[in-house]
Amino acid sequence: MINNSKIIIGCMAWGDWGKQLSLKEHTEMIAFCVESGNKTFDHADIYGDYTTERSFGNALAESTINREEIQLISKCGIQYVGKNRNNKIKHYNYSKDYIIWSAEESLRNLKTDYLDTFLLHRPSPLMHPTEIAEAIRNLQESGKIIEFGVSNFTPAQVDLISNKIKVSVNQIEFSLTQHTAMLDGTLDQMLLNTIHPMAWSPLGTVFKKENEQNLRVKKMLKKLSEKYSVSENAILLSWILKHPANISPVIGTTNKKRIKSANEALNVTLELEDWFMLLTESQGHKVP
């Protein structure tokens, strides 16, 4: 298994879909993350309408960062409708030739010889496990990718692919306010089969929506933040980190203070009853 940072930096908002960081800002952000211990960077080919990987790669080439010191994740498969691809409708492509081409395109854009982890971004009803396996073996045997995984796949879909090729990662939505993966067998399967879970949107909707669930959660967060002397963000991440499946949160912020705040979670071990207090407030009822 790749030695990823426990808290992974999501790069979707670095480019045209977010902060539109300049080359200098990209370079500074990469250096800051590495110095903070966040050495794993999560990408996808579609981010920024297929432009964000290139911006990051240009910055990485300008930096003094040793490529061996960091880990790069990317994803393929979604055919996005934008100005940089001639797609008539959003769809998925998991043909052997496309998977290989897409990985090689990410390598060119990120200006690297290999990806530490390469994921299928979302499942397609037309994906064929044998064809996918052939593409991944080609990429692994040529040294272009090290670890293979999926993103947003159900347990049955993971089984479909892993019957032909080892699946090492499943990147899913998971947070205190969206924890169905803990109840529907998704995390159980990953724990059973030594598949590394990565969690996107790990803070959930707590600070995005005003509703009864989030009001309950915020009251408990305030108490626990004071008890453990860390930020509320850190409490939310520590709730995820306590799960035995060894989940790695993927945080999407470009705010340096929030990255530091997130890293506080690494020094927090929630007491058992505190963990269940948060779950109870999120669900609005005691556990069965």
Active site residues: 47
Q: Is the distance from CB of 75 to CB of 120 less than 8 angstroms?
A: yes
Residues with Cβ within 8 Å of residue 125, at least 6 apart in sequence: none
| Residue 248 identity | S
Structure tokens given for 226: 């004071």
Q: Which one-letter amino acid corresponds to residue 141?
A: E
What backbone phi and psi angles, to 5 degrees, belong to 73? -110, 140
How is residue 275 annotated by DSSP? H
Nearest CA-CA partner of 248 in 78, 53, 39, 45 = 39
28 within 8 A of 64, measured Cβ to Cβ: no
